Structure 1
Amino acid sequence: MKHFAIDQLQTVADIERETLPLSRNQRIERWAELLESIPDQRLATLQQTENLPPEARERIRVDRSPISVAFADPVLRAAGLQGDSYGEAKRFFQLTDYQLHRALCYCHFGGTVSAATAAHYVRKASSNTRRNLIAWLWDTIAE
């Protein structure tokens, strides 16, 4: 049997990863649990998400953010999380701009937020299926 280094195998192997079917609530719950596992860690917030044009907002990312914690998880990556940008978090977790803004924006927490606080707002987003007028206006203006 011939042995190869992993980087050699990746150049010749045709590998397709199977995605795990997780519901929206399961994905959000997993993210919240990851954050709760490091409750005192300070994570970077996203700057001025509400003031960015939609295309710039979709691309924004920050190292060591709550979204980065989710992207570092192999289970969420296997379920289809493709990056740690705002837009990817919005798509993958099926959250609105209002929900992401409330959980991750600088204007609520300053430059950093504790992982426990971020987990609280991430989890709150999954249980908040009833949209209020403020959330509707926020999402309408954000587009």
Structure 2
Amino acid sequence: MEQYTVEQLKTIAKVSTTCKRLEITRRERLDRWAESLERSSRPFLKTLHETEYQPIADRIALRDDDTPISVAFADPILRAAGMENDSYGEAKRFFELSDEQLHDLVCFCHFGERVSAATVARRVRKIASHKPGGFFAQLRAFFG
């Protein structure tokens, strides 16, 4: 693969250094992740080890190739929407997940070394469709 500097590219193409981020809702991001998992060429993906026991700084940096998170990062729409890398911390931020939710999707303790991409897709869809049901959540939804 050949690599060029931005200055070299400017001689053969119009180069824009700014790119408007694709605006999609949390629900749309989660649905797209589930779709990416369902389309994955790898039916089984790696899990991350002991996410709940890692110090916060280590947990945020956790990553591996061929994980459910790396499948999301490989999706061009999710990257255009602002997903910056395939780390645990980035998935938590980008998909607006709690540690508990992300742990339930990618941790070794739930699945062992590998997890079915279809299983994670179902769990992601369940999170996407969940509506907060508490009294204060209903008030927030009502009053905006």
TM-score range, shorter chain: 0.7 to 0.9
1:57-91 Cα distance to aligned partner (Å, 9 max, x none): 11100110010001011111000000000000000
Shift of 1:10: 6.0
Shift in CA distance, 119/10, structure 1 to aligned 2, threshold 3 Å: farther
What one-letter code is carried by the residue in structure 2 that aligns with 1:15?
Answer: T
Larger radius of gyration: 2
Kindly indicate whether residue 126 of structure 2 is the aligned counterpart of residue 108 of structure 1. Answer: no
Aligned partners of 2:65, 2:41: CA distance in 1, in Å?
18
Q: Using a 3 Å threshold, how does the CA distance of structure 1 residues 15 and 35 change in structure 2: closer, same or farther?
A: same
Question: 3-state SS of the aligned residue for 1:15?
Answer: coil
* Unmatched runs of 5 consecutive residues or more in structure 1: 133-143
- 1:93-132 equivalences under 5 Å are 93-130=95-132
SS of equivalent to 1:107: helix
Percentage identity across paired residues of the two chains: 48
Deviations 1:33-63 (A, max 9, x none): 1101138611000100010111111110011
The answer for the alignment partner of 2:138 in structure 1 is: none
Shift of 1:127: 2.1
**Size of the alignment, in residue pairs?**
128
Asked if structure 1 preserves the Cα contact closer than 8 Å seen for 2:40 and 2:71, the reply is no
Q: Which residue does 1:65 correspond to in 2?
A: 67
What CA distance in whole angstroms lies between the structure 2 residues aligned with 1:130 and 1:98? 15
1:5-84 correspondence runs (5 A) = 7-9=4-6, 13=15, 15-38=17-40, 41-84=43-86
Deviations 1:86-123 (A, max 9, x none): 00000000011011001110000000101100101111
TM-score normalised to the size of structure 2? 0.80
Q: How does 1:78-93 map to 2 (within 5 A)?
A: 78-93=80-95
Cα distance change, pair 33–7 in 1 and its aligned pair in 2 (3 A): same
Query: 5+ residue gaps in structure 2?
Result: 135-144
C-alpha deviation, 1:126, in angstroms: 1.6
How does the TM-score come out when normalised to structure 1? 0.81
